[in-house]
Amino acid sequence: MKGLHVAVVGASGAVGRAMLKVMEEKDFPVAKITLLASKRSAGSVLYYKGEKQVVSELKEESFQGVDLALFSAGSSVSQTFAQSAVDQGAVVIDNSSAFRMNQDVPLIVPEVNPDAVTDHHRLIANPNCSTIQMVVALKPIYDAVGIEQVVVSTYQSVSGAGNKAVEELKEQTQALLDGSSNEPVNFPHPIAFNIIPHIDAFLENGYTKEEMKMVDETKKIFADQDIRVSPTAARVPVMIGHSESIYIKTKAPIEVKEAVKIWDSAPGVAVIDDAKQNQYPLPIEAAGRDEVLIGRIRKDLHEEKALNFWVVADNLRKGAATNAVQIAELIIKKERV
Ligand SMILES: NC(=O)c1ccc[n+]([C@@H]2O[C@H](COP(=O)([O-])OP(=O)(O)OC[C@H]3O[C@@H](n4cnc5c(N)ncnc54)[C@H](OP(=O)(O)O)[C@@H]3O)[C@@H](O)[C@H]2O)c1
């Protein structure tokens, strides 16, 4: 297979670095790699497969000869530069929320709606990290017995807010242990030794944008306007790995054993559920892995057609980089690049 000229926009960021790692591990067919970021990181050095790569400043003309552009530099950067990348001949996979709900932009999780890739016009959106891990866990059950409603509470790590947020948690934790204080910058309140039930901006309906992404993106990915998602998103002082407590109301009854069997043979998930051995998914164990981990699987105490479970995944990998690279692999398979 011919190697591709791949551009990583936001290469110096938390997701950008994970992109490089995931492509290396998967031996993604890269013939040439172009690393792009803002002026701040231009000239800095990153490594791809042991070779030095100098980061360049992102400009309109950065995409000449680029086959595939992986964007993870925020919505405004995508809004400004994604179209010029497309115009210069690249296929863009965008990690920001800029285009996710555009009708002509597929929103893809390869374990859930891989066929949506055939409809792309050189621009594909990667869903929100919390949505990705949730829909990967829901899909096999959705196919088996149908799902009417999802009630989800998230416990999201600080790396979900980027490199600076990770530094803030480290510095704030140290400052508090040292008896001093450290003002919040990337979060509305101190995150060290705290939980903040507020991610992204509040909307008129009382939900946050992060929560509404889970509602709207799930409908689009499942192509099901009737699936009801009731979310609460919270930030917790964890470095990497988002956790989610999920309650589903199914269309037909389902027993725990049956659900485990279904998940055991589903792509992209691993069941870790052994209460006697204190085994259940943990963010420190999900970090660095690509699977969505599922555990604490219980029948609801009151409803015949309902389950409770706990889902954890690495937000930088399956929640962002791995999913984007898997989408690129789908495109290659369909020979569209
Ligand atoms: N973190 C996650 O778990 C996650 C999951 C899914 C999606 N995403 C999305 O991925 C994107 C990046 O997130 P992140 O967590 O990697 O953030 P991050 O660690 O803050 O990194 C941001 C990256 O974007 C670059 N950048 C910022 N402004 C730029 C500009 N004007 N021109 C060019 N490059 C610019 C930064 O370059 P400099 O080094 O030069 O500043 C850096 O490489 C966001 O859209 C986020 O919503 C993140």
- Per residue in 241-299, pLDDT tens? 999 999 999 999 999 999 999 999 999 999 999 999 999 999 999 999 999 999 999 99
Q: Which of 95, 100, 210, 217 to mutate to test the pocket of ligand 1 (most atoms within 8 A of CB)?
A: 95
Tens of pLDDT, residue by residue over 196-237, are: 999 999 999 999 999 999 999 999 999 999 999 999 999 999
Residue 15 is inside which H or E element, if any? helix 14-26
Pocket of ligand 1 contains residue 324 by CB under 6 Å: no
Catalytic residue of the set 5, 120, 121, 129:
129
CATH top-level class of 131-314: alpha beta
Pocket of ligand 1 contains residue 328 by CB under 6 Å: no
4-127+320-333: CATH architecture: 3-Layer(aba) Sandwich (3.40)
**Is 189 assigned a catalytic role?**
no
Q: Which two tokens stand for residue 198?
A: 């507020």
pTM: 0.97
Task: List, in order, residues 6 or more apart from 137 with CB less than 8 Å away.
Answer: 246, 263, 269, 292, 294, 309, 311
Residue 85 has pLDDT above 70, yes or no: yes
Average pLDDT, the chain: 97
4-127+320-333 and 131-314: identical CATH topology: no
> For residue 1, what pLDDT is reported?
54
Q: Where do the domains of the chain lie?
A: 4-127+320-333, 131-314
Pocket of ligand 1 contains residue 333 by CB under 6 Å: no
Tens of pLDDT, residue by residue over 139-150, are: 999 999 999 999
**Is 121 assigned a catalytic role?**
no
Nearest-atom number in ligand 1 for the CA of 58 is 33
Tens of pLDDT, residue by residue over 32-78, are: 999 999 999 999 999 999 999 999 999 999 999 999 999 999 999 99
Over pLDDT 70: what percentage of the chain?
A: 99
266 φ/ψ angles, rounded to the nearest 5 degrees: -95, 150
